[in-house]
A and B are shown apart, each in its own frame.
Chain A
Amino acid sequence: MNDNTHAATLDRPPPQAYTYADLSRLMSYMTGDEKHSASATSTLDVLWVLYDRILRIDPAHLDDDARDRFLLSKGHGPMAYYAILAAKGFFDPKLLRRWCRPDSPLGLHPDRNLIPGVEISSGSLGHGLPLAVGMAAGLRARANPARIFCLVGDAELDEGSNHEAIAVAPRLVRGLDALTVIVIDNQSSSLTWPGGIAKRFEVEGWSTATIDGRDHASIESALTEPHRGRPRAVVAVVEKKS
């Protein structure tokens, strides 16, 4: 099923220490411009902290069953995601320059069957969080202690499918506490969320935090806070989408 015709171009590069400062240049391989709009980078800081400090995933052992799972549900604007995967050695940064060409594994929405380290194919909104709930339930059923992180957008929460997942996750076996959802809030939901996004999770029994989505120390501490018996929702607020 996983007929990967891109294997030849997906050799991982030799270890090279990319830093946060390199991401703008890596993204420019795709956008052609070193300056990026706030919406193109709304996920950048959270993704960087996840891949730099939180996730236990070894690009050399992607089939390790104990690896943490990261699910990018908000598949739109994946430049920051691709840049970070390249920076962290999942694939050769040279691939970024060829994105969206017919034979490139990198499209406007990521495909798990084409890109090493991508856990779900996304693009249509409102699928990642329900899949993450199933994945967390499946790993728990197998007594696999891996953690599951899922990133969604505040406008993506408009999709009702998310609310089925938000209601159910805390009431499944042992509160599905391997699951953490990060909501990138760039205030792009057309009808907004009166009372705040965290409330929607809190009332269903989630452990929640609302933080500055640009502040690396806050992101790290919010994502490492213990939440035994409950899933965790971290709302990361960034600049309003222009």
Chain B
Amino acid sequence: MSEEMRNRFASVTNELLDTNERVAIVLADISGDKFKEAQQKHPFRRINVGIREQLLINVGAGMALADMRPIVHTFAPFLVERAFEQVKLGFAHQGVGGVLVSIGGSYDTPAYGRTHQSTGDVALMATLPGVRIQVPGHPDEVDRLLRNAVASTDIVYIRLDATTNSAPHAAEDGRLKVVRQGADGTPTIIAVGPMLDRVLEAAEGMDATVLYTATVRPFDAAGLRKHMTDDSVAIIEPYLEGTSAGVISAALADRTHRLLAIGVPNIEFRQYGSIEHHDRAHGLDAAGLRARIESWLTPVAA
């Protein structure tokens, strides 16, 4: 799997540890080798709790209660799913912030199987009021989103992925950005994070507006309303299908609209292989996306 985003996360975090004495990194073994030097330089602010994810989250939350700005990091299923009550109570219910950074995406390590895959992480994190969820699509976006997250006081979840777009696009303020403007009266397609390049490929030759965002919570409802030029909107997300369908429907509650939500299907997919194999199997490669979007846009006889 591509290590670009993870490496950028590590280099920015190491820099922030050097320059901001309120920043701490809390680890559960994973990625420990990327913070070896920090262990010598900042022994009180580089904490590894071993393979103990409940403690990982609550040590981060406890540090936040002591006015530190913790960055808490491990594989997505262990960071978000394994100890979710700790995230809910340690951060959200106490009313303190922190930066949670995951690696592994939905299936960045397909050969590891379901135990190391998390498609539901964003949906789960989205149940916490006020949380910011960032799904960067390029290492440069990781850089900026991580710095912004550390500078804020919010609970921020940053989801790193092995797949990256050829160029960074994320808007500074988390708003939807127009990547390709369609004619008036054409559909709108929203690409989230690492899905952008393949969405552009799938929409080649289609008359449609393509929007991009790395910020899925809070969702830019006003931006969507502004950019839509007909009643059809599709969202393509690299995690559980339908995760953002609710916020889009809410944004368009007063309008007649058609919504296509594409993401990873909610199934136990018991195959190994490569990321590309999983993309194809789930219809999340460019050809699969194009087929689903075209069929959605084709009027069905009544």
Q: Scoring B residues 55 to 97 as 1 if CB is less than 8 Å from chain A, else 0, what string do you get?
A: 1001111111111101000000000000001100110011100
A positions within 8 Å CB-CB of B? 1-2, 65, 112-113, 119-121, 124, 126-127, 130-142, 144, 160-161, 164-165, 167-168, 172-173
Cβ of B147 within 8 Å of any chain A Cβ, yes or no, is: no
Q: Which of A137, A165, A168 has the most CB of B within 10 A?
A: A137
Alpha-carbon separation in the docked complex, A99 to B59 (Å): 31
Interface-lining segment among B43-51, B119-127, B235-243:
B43-51
B residues within 8 A CB of A142?
A: 21-22, 66-68
On whether the beta carbons of A141 and B86 are closer than 8 Å, the reply is no
What are 15 A-B residue pairs whose CB atoms fall within 8 Å in the complex?
Answer: A2-B95, A112-B95, A120-B94, A127-B85, A127-B86, A130-B54, A131-B61, A131-B90, A133-B55, A134-B63, A136-B62, A137-B24, A137-B44, A142-B66, A168-B55
Q: Given A119-B65, A140-B44, A141-B68, is A168 in contact with B60 using a C-beta cutoff of 8 Å?
A: no
B residues within 8 A CB of A139?
A: 66
For B66, give the chain A residue with the smallest CB separation.
A138
Alpha-carbon separation in the docked complex, A124 to B63 (Å): 20
**A112 contact from B64, B70, B94, B130, Cβ within 8 A:** B94
CB of B138, distance to nearest CB on chain A (Å)? 31
B positions within 8 Å CB-CB of A? 21-22, 24, 26, 43-45, 47, 49-50, 52, 54-55, 58-68, 70, 85-86, 89-90, 93-95, 130, 153
On whether the beta carbons of A138 and B64 are closer than 8 Å, the reply is yes
Q: Given A112-B95, A144-B66, A173-B43, is A134 in contact with B60 using a C-beta cutoff of 8 Å?
A: yes
CB of A210, distance to nearest CB on chain B (Å)? 25
On whether the beta carbons of A138 and B24 are closer than 8 Å, the reply is yes
B residues within 8 A CB of A136?
A: 62, 66
A residues within 8 A CB of B90?
A: 127, 130-131
CB of B239, distance to nearest CB on chain A (Å)? 27
**B62 contact from A113, A124, A138, A164, Cβ within 8 A:** A138
For A144, give the chain B residue with the smallest CB separation.
B66
